[in-house]
Amino acid sequence: MSIFGKIKDAIFGKKAAPAPETTSKAPAGGGTTTTAPAPTAQPQAQVDVEQVLNGIAASKGNPDLNWRTSIVDLMKLLDMDSSLGNRKELATELGYTGDKDGSAEMNIWLHKEVMRQLAANGGKVPASMMD
């Protein structure tokens, strides 16, 4: 699983994707069988990313982590490996084009891009965390 996928699952909750269902109907009088897709599920409510992360921090006794602006602290809060190797992999995954040297520039970009991707995938993220 991708590193961003792990971050997303940690915040949104891991949900098993249901297998697509189909229904078959035989036409009156025989003949060929038609297959129609089953009705799709209603969209899930938007996940408040800040609220979820505040809850995780509170459940851990409010650790001294600056997860609102630091990708390293965000990953630590989610019990993920925040090593440079993992951040380089995340940078590649998300399309970072600069030097993958663990610089402040890379880490700031990573945090903002993770927040943008969470928003693009159904999360409610404060604008201050994306720009």
pLDDT tens-digit profile of 88-130? 999 999 999 999 999 999 999 999 999 999 999 999 999 999 8
| Of 38-42, 46-50, 72-76, minimum mean pLDDT range | 38-42
pLDDT value for 1: 84
Per-residue tokens: 50: 């800040």
Phi, psi of 94 (to 5 degrees): -90, 0
Q: What angle do CA 89, 80, 13 make, to 5 degrees?
A: 105
Entry pTM:
0.77
Instruction: Label the pairing between strands 123-124 and 34-37.
Output: unpaired
Domain boundaries, the chain: 47-125
